[in-house]
Chains A and B, each alone.
Chain A
Amino acid sequence: MCACGSGLAMRLLAAGVSHKSAPVEIRERLALPSQRQVDALQDLVSLPDVAEALVLSTCNRFELYVAESPCSTGLGADQLVSRITGVPLTDLRPHLYAHEDESAARHLSEVASGADSMVLGECEIMGQVKEAADLARGAGTLGMMLTRLTDTALQAGKRARRETTIDQGCASVASVGVSLARQICGDPRRTTALLIGAGETAEFTLQRLMDGGTERVFIANRTPGRATILAETYGGHAVAFEGIYEAMVEADVVIASTSAPHAVVHAEPMRQIVRRRGARPLFMIDLAVPRDIEPEAGDLDNVFVYNIDSLQEAVEEALRGRESQLPRVREICAEAARSFQTWAASLDLLPTLLELRERVEAIRLREYEQALRDMGQLNARQQKQLHLMTKRLVQGLIDAPLSRLRSKACDGDGLAYLAAMRELFGLQSCPPAPLPPEGDNGVGEPVEEGGA
């Protein structure tokens, strides 16, 4: 047997922490800037244990994926995490989770599909996984196995978003506001916004509106100086606080968030304004507590008022909707992981399969040539027939055992069958090294012992 205990060619190991397992105090100690990531990855593959390495580092998680080389001394992935981040293992251990092979592939697939994200189904994570893969590729530590792993996870992420609604619905107050603005007022480029007061969420919502194409912005504030500053920040027009009704004739989206102890927008003057606005709908977002907009304004025709509670409710509804998709997403990820595992298992078999085919082909050729010599004069057609006959014979004999071996490899009995097959066909006692991973990294040579 090989020194590499399991005998499998390459194992996939993963370890990490996420917002679910570790507080921010731990996560911030693990965060690696991308330049240091490159050094860390290269340091890892210089170890005899590690053939390939990949780090996924975002504000909510730090994860390390390594392909263990065939003759690893059994260094755990947790130790590797500690090594590259410099955080002692004792500090890490309570927060660390670890995965192997299929379970690691399933984990990364779930991460990529957003099922493990703080905001369920968010899609930035896809880009982050892609970036992590690019970084490792640039560092020369992304070999065949981790390339396949990241491809598997990204495809699972895409499929989850295509086949389920895990990314549907708005997951923040600002995005609900922006989506509603689009739903009620149509094209954001033709939308005019009015900001009354400036809370953090209000400014963020305005920013998102402007990202969507809104250009005309009015800004009103109790303190005129502050209004002017904000107007400069957003390239809008400052309006006097008394002029908000007048501005509402033009505006389509009103975002109110003053700290006034009473309503600042009253229903009665709104009635006049709405008449002057014509057919255009008016969407009002009230982010203030106590409320800035009299609720009666929402009863006016063509005026839609949403307060912070109704927006928050919409966010929660969307997140509940996303949560209901989790079982289906997990299923997709499990499927992806299974197909990854099948591929990885066939990677273990590859040397044996190739060797066996070579052996059989050599025998076939020998016998074929012998027959040609013995049979004397054969025309081209007869030669071809003979050639085909030997080929079919050989294939018919080895195809069934080989395909059965492949399917056994996925069930975990592969090793016993592999050993038996090598023994029966008299192949070398220890499987030769698997296909070398891409790039320059220290794959240890398999250590051979005596007979199996």
Chain B
Amino acid sequence: MTPDHAILLAPAGAYLVSGGLYAWRVLRRHRPAGTAALIVGAVGAAIHGVTFAVALAGDPHAVAATVSSAVSLICFLTAAVFLTANRAFRIEAIGSAVLPICFAGALFAALCPPTAQETPEVLRSAWFFAHVPPALLAYVAFAFSFAVAGMYLGEARLLRSRKVAAVIGVLPPLDQLENAMYRTAAFGFLLLTVGMATGALWAQSVWGSYWSWEPKQTASLATWLVFATYLHYRVVRHARGRNGAWLIVIGFACVVLTFVATGLLGDDRHRFL
């Protein structure tokens, strides 16, 4: 762990504490805990944001040049979006699911720093801005969708086993969770599609072929297919409730796999990522 990356332990810790406070807020109906969670999370996100601001001032391409910094950026954006929306929509229950994801990602980024320090020349291209932001934002949306799907599954299970007191007034209405999970998944799917399309065009301009079945591409395609399946069934009204939520969980597993696959088996194209 280098000092540069050790600093990520601060936001990681803050996300963990914040997630715990959100859980406390919801389970114990303790309102001040929600405020405390927001403040702690915001402090963590601020520190996290500063590290990116510093990196961006140096080399904008570097922020997405390695697996660890890409994961870190996704977690930062997820936390930032949630904490902003938290003020606007009072969706504190979801914080207890979203912030632990941010914690896991930030911890990973802190503990597994990249080996290569140089930003590869191929990234210094205008295509970078057409490909990377939509792809990263798609993952942010999927992280939300996954958190909400997890909550949906938990709530449905509690309702099915008649644990009324654990649900009423504690968790958001099931119907709303289903809707939120669908919308975030649809949004993420759209962005992922854009990201994959621009990626293919970029590959064509650099390497002369749109698609080369390297691990990152393959895993992304799997993600795309899972979410496409979910949306297809959701829109034509077949994948209801649990099945849909499980598809989203599988989809997010594919996202995680994307990073693992590139980290372990990456070849030339996405090796840096």
Contact = CB atoms under 8 A, between A and B. Distances in A.
Interface residues of A, number: 31
Contact of A278 (B160, B176, B237): B237
A281 B169 contact: no
A281 B242 CA distance: 11
Interface stretch (A33-41, A54-62, A313-321): A313-321
Contact of A301 (B29, B165, B176, B242): B242
Nearest to B241: A302
A51 to B, nearest CB: 42
Contacts of B29: 165, 168
Contacts, number: 77
Name which of B159, B168, B178, B234 has the most chain A CB atoms within 10 A of its CB: B168
A185 B244 CA distance: 17
Given A280-B175, A281-B174, A302-B240, A183 B168 contact: yes
Interface residues of B, number: 24
B186 to A, nearest CB: 13
Contact of A182 (B164, B165, B173, B240): B173
A424 B178 CA distance: 79
Contacts of A321: 165
A124 B201 CA distance: 68
B165 A281 contact: no
Given A183-B173, A184-B173, A184-B174, A281 B241 contact: yes
B243 interface: yes
Nearest to B177: A186
A187 B172 CA distance: 11
Contacts of B238: 275
A38 to B, nearest CB: 40
Interface in B209-245: 234, 237-238, 240-244
B175 A185 contact: yes
A170 interface: yes
A437 interface: no
A277 B175 CA distance: 13
Interface in A125-166: 165
A314 B168 CA distance: 11
B164 A186 contact: no
A181 to B, nearest CB: 10
B243 A186 contact: no
Given A301-B240, A314-B162, A279 B173 contact: no
A85 interface: no
Given A165-B29, A304-B160, A185 B243 contact: no
Contacts of B144: none
Contact of A279 (B162, B169, B176, B240): B240
B236 to A, nearest CB: 9
A274 B174 contact: no
Given A184-B159, A186-B173, A301-B243, A279 B165 contact: no
A318 B164 CA distance: 9
A130 to B, nearest CB: 25
Interface string A272-300: 00110111110000000000000000100
Contacts of A185: 173-175
Nearest to B161: A310
A231 to B, nearest CB: 26
B203 to A, nearest CB: 37
Contact of A314 (B160, B165, B173): B165
A274 B234 CA distance: 14
A401 to B, nearest CB: 42
A279 B182 contact: yes
A28 B241 CA distance: 52
B173 A304 contact: no
B167 interface: yes
A274 B160 CA distance: 17
Given A184-B174, A186-B175, A302-B242, A318 B165 contact: yes
Given A301-B242, A306-B162, 19 more contacts: A169-B165, A170-B168, A182-B173, A183-B167, A183-B171, A184-B173, A184-B175, A185-B174, A186-B174, A187-B173, A275-B237, A278-B240, A279-B234, A279-B240, A280-B240, A281-B240, A301-B240, A314-B165, A321-B165
Interface of B: 29, 159-160, 162, 164-165, 167-169, 171, 173-176, 178, 182, 234, 237-238, 240-244
Interface of A: 165, 168-170, 176, 179-180, 182-187, 274-275, 277-281, 298, 301-302, 304, 306, 310, 313-314, 317-318, 321
